[in-house]
Amino acid sequence: MRVESSPDAPASDDRHELRTFCYWMLGAVALGLAVRLGYAYGFKWDQPIAVAADQIGGDAGYYHYQANAIAEGLWFVDPWSWALRGTGVHPGAEHPPLYTLFLAIPSSLGFDTFRQHVIAGCILGSLTCGVVGFAGRAVAGRRVGIVAALLAAIYANLWVNDALVMSETITALMAAFVVWFAYWFWRDPSMRNAMLFGFACGLAALTRAELIVYFPIVALPLVLGARKLVTRERVRRGVAIVVLAAIPVLPWVVFNMVRFNNPVTLSTGGDFTFGNTYCDSTFYGDRLGWWDLTCMDDRWQIEGDESDQALHFREEGLEYLSDNLDRFPVVVAARVGRMWELYDPIGKLRWDSFEMGRSPNTVTRVALAQFYVLAILAVVGLVMLRRRHIIIYPLLALAVACTLAAVVAFGGTRYRVPAEVGIVIAAAVPLCALLERWFPTRRGAPPAGAVEPAEGGPAPGAPEDDVVPDEGRTQEPVAT
C-alpha cells in the first residue's frame, strides 16, 4: 500500500532535497578528485612507467598502448606486438574492451601519454564517488548516499587503482551503476528500470569478465520477486533485462569469434592467468594462492595468434590442476583468504606494493586498515538493512563474483574492487545511524538506527509503518 503525498511535503521540497543531494555529490566528486590527483602526483608522477615509453608493461601498458592504437584506427590489436615488439598488427583481446575504449577518448583528442591517461583515470574514478552516492541513496536513503559517496572519495582501495591506469577504475563505476539500477527496479519494477539494470549489467561484464556471473545471481530473484506484477509482466521485464544486457556484450563476442584462430568470448586474460597461477610455487611454495610469472613459458615462442597462446596456457594450467587436484582445496582457501585479508595479509602488503603497483607501502597499510574497519561496519549495515526489509543480495552478489574470480585465479586485492562498492554502501548505513544519534537532523527524522526511505519509495512488502510519502516520482502502471 502506498500513502499519498502529504500536503505538508510539497513536490518543491523534494526538488530542493534532490538539489541539495546533488551538491553533496559534487563535493564528494571534488574531494575524490583531489585525493586521486594528490596520490598520482605525489607517488606515481615520476615512476619509470610514467616517463619512459619503453618501460610501460603489465596491464597498465596493455590498456595504454591499445587505446593509442584505437586512436590511430587500429581496433583492439595486440599492443605488445604493435607498440613494443614491432612485429606487426595482430588481434588482441587480453582484457574486456570498456576501459580501453574510455582511454581511447583522450588518446583521440591528443592526450595519449601515460601521465595523461593517469589523469583521465583519476577523473573517472572521482565520478565513481558520485555514482556510489546515488546507489547508496537508492539502497537506503539520502544520508546513506552522502556518507557512501564521501567514503568512496577517501577509501584507498578505490582511489589507489585510479592512478595505475587499471580497468578497476571503470569496474567500480559500473558496479555502482548496477547496484543503483538494481534497487531502482526492486522498488519500482517498471520497464524503464528493467532496461537500465540490464544495460548496466552488460556494460559491467565489459570491464571485468567475472562480473558476468552477477547478472543471473541478481536478475533472476529481482524479476521473480516483483510480486506486484502478474506473470506475463514479469516475463516481459525479464526478457527486457536479458536483451539489454546482451546489446553491449554480443558485438564484442561476435567480433572476437571471427578474428582469432580459436574461439574467444570476453577475453583471453583468464587463460593467460592459468599459466602463472597453476604451478608449484603457487600451490606448494611461498606464493601459495598468489601468482608467479616465472611459471610461464615465453608466450612469444608459441606459434599462432593470441588465442593460440591463451589455449596453450589454459591447457597447461588444467593439466597441472588435474595432476594436483588433491591440493586444490588448500589453494582455493589461500586464494579466497588472501582476497579477503584473512590469510597472511601483512605478507601480501609487500606484493601489493611492489608487484601490483599499489606503492608506497604506507598506502597499502592504510588501505588494509580501512578495509577491516569498513568490512565490519558493512556486516552491521547488511543486518540493519535486512531488519528494515531491504534486500541485500545485490550487494552480496558483488562479493560472490569477486570470490569466484579468486577461486579460479588468485587472491589479488584489486580483484575485490566490485565488492568494495558494496562494502562502502553497506558501511554507510550504521555510520548514518551513529551520526543521527550524535547530530540529530530535524524533528520527524527517522530515529537513530533506522534507514530512511530510499529513492523510489518504500521497500516492497515492508510493514505499513515503514511506508512514507514518495513525492516527485511517478510509477508506471502495471497489469493487475
| CB-count exposure of residue 123 (10 Å: 0-12, 13-18, 19+) | middle
Residue 126 has pLDDT above 90, yes or no: yes
Confidence (pLDDT) at 436: 83
Can you tell me whether residue 91 is helix, strand or coil? strand
- Is the Cβ–Cβ distance between 423 and 379 less than 8 Å? no
Asked if residue 360 has a cis previous peptide bond (ω within 30° of 0), the answer is yes
**Long-range contacts of the stretch 77-84 (C-beta < 8 A, 24+):** 78/305, 78/306, 84/54
pTM of the model: 0.89
Can you tell me whether residue 256 is helix, strand or coil? helix
User: Around Cβ 464, how many Cβ atoms within 10 Å?
Assistant: 8
Q: How far is CA 251 from CA 256, 266, 339, in A?
A: 9, 10, 32
Say which range, 13-17, 251-255, 299-303, 457-461, has the weakest mean pLDDT.
457-461
Confidence (pLDDT) at 470: 39
Span 264-270, mean pLDDT? 93
Length of the chain: 480
Can you tell me whether residue 46 is helix, strand or coil? coil
* Residue for grid cell 566490485: 418
* Residue for grid cell 591506469: 165
How far is residue 56's CA from residue 50's CA, in Å, rounded to a whole number? 7
Confidence (pLDDT) at 55: 59
* Residue for grid cell 584506427: 73
| CB within 8 Å of 347: residues ≥ 6 apart | none
Confidence (pLDDT) at 296: 86
Helices within 141-207 (DSSP H only):
142-154, 156-162, 168-187, 191-205
Residue 262 has pLDDT above 80, yes or no: yes
Q: How far is CA 365 from CA 161, 417, 463, in A?
A: 15, 17, 44
Angle at 105 between CA 179 and CA 145, to 5 degrees: 25
Cell (9 digits) for 169: 577504475
Radius of gyration of the chain (CA): 23
Can you tell me whether residue 179 is helix, strand or coil? helix
Q: What residue type is assigned to position 382 of the chain?
A: L
How far is residue 87's CA from residue 362's CA, in Å, rounded to a whole number? 40
Helices within 48-141 (DSSP H only):
48-51, 58-71, 79, 98-108, 114-140
Q: How far is CA 452 from CA 385, 388, 447, in A?
A: 11, 9, 9
Task: Find, among 119, 163, 165, the residue nearest to 360 by Cα.
Answer: 163
Q: What is the pLDDT of residues 18-50, one digit of tens each?
A: 899 999 999 999 999 999 999 999 888 876 555
Cell (9 digits) for 182: 538494481
Confidence (pLDDT) at 65: 93
Instruction: Give 6 or 111, the one with higher predicted confidence.
Output: 111
Backbone dihedral angles phi then psi of residue 378, each to the nearest 5 degrees: -65, -40
Confidence (pLDDT) at 254: 97
